[in-house]
Amino acid sequence: MTSSPSPVTTLLGPPEIRHPPPTSVTAPPPQPPPTPPPTGDPLLDLMDAGFNADPSRPLMDAGVNGDPSRPPIGLTENLSPTYISSGDSCLDFFFQVVPGTAAETVAELLSAAWAQDAATALKLACHLRGVRGTGKSDRDGFYAAALWLHRHHPKTLALNLLAIADFGYLKDLPEILHRLIAGANVRAKAKAERPHRGPKGRCFGRRPCCRQSEKLPPTIKAGTREERIAADLTRGKILSAQGAEIRRTKRTEMAIRAIERHTRDPDYRLLHDRVADVFAELLAADLRHLSAGEVAKISLAAKWCPSVDSSYDRSTLLCEAVARRVFPRSSDPDYLSLSDAHYAYRVRDRLRRAVLVPLRRAIELPEVYMSAGKWSILPYSRVASVAMKNYKKHFLKHDRERFTQYLDDVKKGKAKIAAGALLPHEIVNDSGDEVAELQWKRMVEDLSKIGSLRNCIAVCDVSGSMDGTPMEVSVALGLLISELSEEPWKGRVITFSERPMLHRIEGESLQEKTRFVRMMDWGMNTDFQKVFDKMLDVAVEGSLPADGMVRRVFVFSDMEFDQASPNPWETDYEAIRRKFEESGYGEAVPEVVFWNLRGTSRSTPVVSTQKGVALVSGFSKNMVKLFLEGDGQLSPREVMDSAISGREYEKLVLYD
């Protein structure tokens, strides 16, 4: 058995190609929480006593900052002066691309970054996908970047595939091929169609998928029982035949499209062949490990390789390409006399039977046990984090006693539960069940092993423009920062909308903490400066020494701040620095981590050269690691460079 890369292979596709068959409520005004007992930290005690009180001082006057060298400046959605670029195209890509950013915007920002520094831009594109390390886990953003790479730098994408797969999963490779064949927005279209389907896939309304019913004979509501049964059977047979014909036609069209693209497009052919090479080489190596009893060395190639006749296989014909490489004609004398069609059929079937099935069994995929109904021997400790989230209801339904015992063992420290690939808000949204509680605990524990946050607090934007997923992420990341902070800041968070409020999060479980956070003050405005105005108020009134000021503030927001400065074209951060200097705290301005959570915003609070700040974005907890590991002064470019400095980035090479 060999798996050496082969020259361009002619794909045949399914036999249908060669032998086609015949033809709102208003809430009461918020009340400030009661003053907690003293903490021992001078600033926090002052904030507990006075931060949530009504403002008593007007904004200070100041001059205009007229620096002509700064990048273009514009206005936020709420008319506050802001930069529309950091002045560094790579940093703009790093800061402005978040989950939900339009593919066209991703391409535009990546193009500008590539023109500035191609090597850094390639790293940033892969950083979007990073599930581990300090990556963003932004799957769709990465796919948009990958399609741009294929369009403009096809060799760089194709020849870096194995390195790129390390940032996410091998499944990304057939997904890229699928999007190239079916269209970049194929997933968005499928998602848009889902709400129109009822239980068991039944269509509602006058949808195209219901047109087949026009050809059915009318339902007979009268007549004998035998006549009604016969009519129903006839309708069922017609419907079944129509469904089979639709599926057969669709499969044939997909295969023809895949073959034509592979034949006529050399860039696509290079990418397709490299994907097939990667899977073939890994699967062949895994079979050798399996034969030698070295199960721990087996990769996840069998898990992510498309199953024969799966949707990926039908749209890309990838299984045929992989099978031809794993089982070339020279590997078996019987293959030499076979026609090409018969040979392709034989090796595809052998790929399924002799490669994918035994390897998937060896790596103990939960799906193998579930599909076989072998719930009683399913190894829960081997279930990945996303699979655990998706399958937990099935585990409780089919194997409640064993699964409950496993969760008890996790609580006692006798077993572990995976949480690495989940985003904080995904766990928080499931708070209330035992799995979410344990996965949140595991996430906090894993991050705590890296380090803790000293003298830090999270500021969560809960204004109207954050409605939806950005609001959920803001709350979840704010809760995570509060859990990772050292005392006395542990469990503290500030929300800001019309009026900033300092909160001590109450509750022991994730469900209780989440319930408390969701009951906090929400509003429509985004008065960011008021957060720092209140800090200054309590510091000045309490005669706080400069070294008692909070050191770092995480701001989770869409950056669409309200206009609050009396000086024309003075940005919010410039106004904050000015106020601190005028109040005698110029050397104690807190470091600010601006964390962007909305993909439709271009507002950029600071320029790339501004010291004492960071510009980050996304929904992943991985970015928090940057601030757990380092303790030096922040700057936007240095934080970005740190995020893409791991060994995995050193494997990336520019080819065109």
pTM above 0.85, yes or no: no
Is residue 300 pLDDT above 80, yes or no?
yes
* Count of C-beta atoms within a 10 Å radius of residue 302: 25
Q: Are residues 194 and 180 in the same domain?
A: no
Burial class (CB in 10 A: 0-12, 13-18, 19+), 248: middle
Q: Tell me: the pLDDT tens digits for 454-503?
A: 889 999 887 777 888 998 999 899 999 999 998 888 888 888 777 788 88
Mean of the pLDDT values across residues 45-70?
47
Q: Are residues 236 and 158 in the same domain?
A: no
Q: Are residues 505 and 520 in the same domain?
A: yes
The answer to whether residue 57 sits within a structural domain is no
pLDDT value of residue 35: 59
pLDDT value of residue 108: 96
Where is mean pLDDT largest: 133-137, 215-219, 497-501? 133-137
Q: What is d(CA 468, CA 473) in angstroms, rounded to the nearest whole number?
A: 9
The answer to whether residue 272 sits within a structural domain is yes
Q: Tell me: the pLDDT tens digits for 399-450?
A: 999 999 999 999 999 999 999 889 999 999 887 789 999 999 999 999 999 9
Domain that holds residue 429: 375-437
Contacts by 368-374, CB closer than 8 A, 24 or more apart:
370/394, 370/398
Mean of the pLDDT values across residues 59-68?
40
SS3 for 432? coil
Q: Are residues 511 and 587 in the same domain?
A: yes
Q: Are residues 249 and 280 in the same domain?
A: yes
- Higher pLDDT among residues 609 and 21, named by residue: 609
Can you read off the two tokens belonging to residue 119? 């090597």
The answer to whether residue 442 sits within a structural domain is no
The answer to whether residue 654 sits within a structural domain is no
Q: Are residues 164 and 144 in the same domain?
A: yes
Mean of the pLDDT values across residues 312-326?
95
Q: Tell me: the pLDDT tens digits for 575-603?
A: 899 999 998 888 889 999 999 998 887 88
Q: Tell me: the pLDDT tens digits for 252-272?
A: 888 899 899 999 999 999 999
Q: Are residues 227 and 323 in the same domain?
A: yes
- Split into its structural domains, the chain has a count of 4
- Higher pLDDT among residues 61 and 227, named by residue: 227
CB 622 within 8 A of CB 134: yes
SS3 for 519? coil
pLDDT band, residue 247 (cuts 50/70/90): confident
Can you read off the two tokens belonging to residue 21? 């068959």
Evaluate the CA torsion angle 555, 601, 560, 421 in order and state its sign.
negative
* Count of C-beta atoms within a 10 Å radius of residue 81: 21
pLDDT value of residue 27: 39
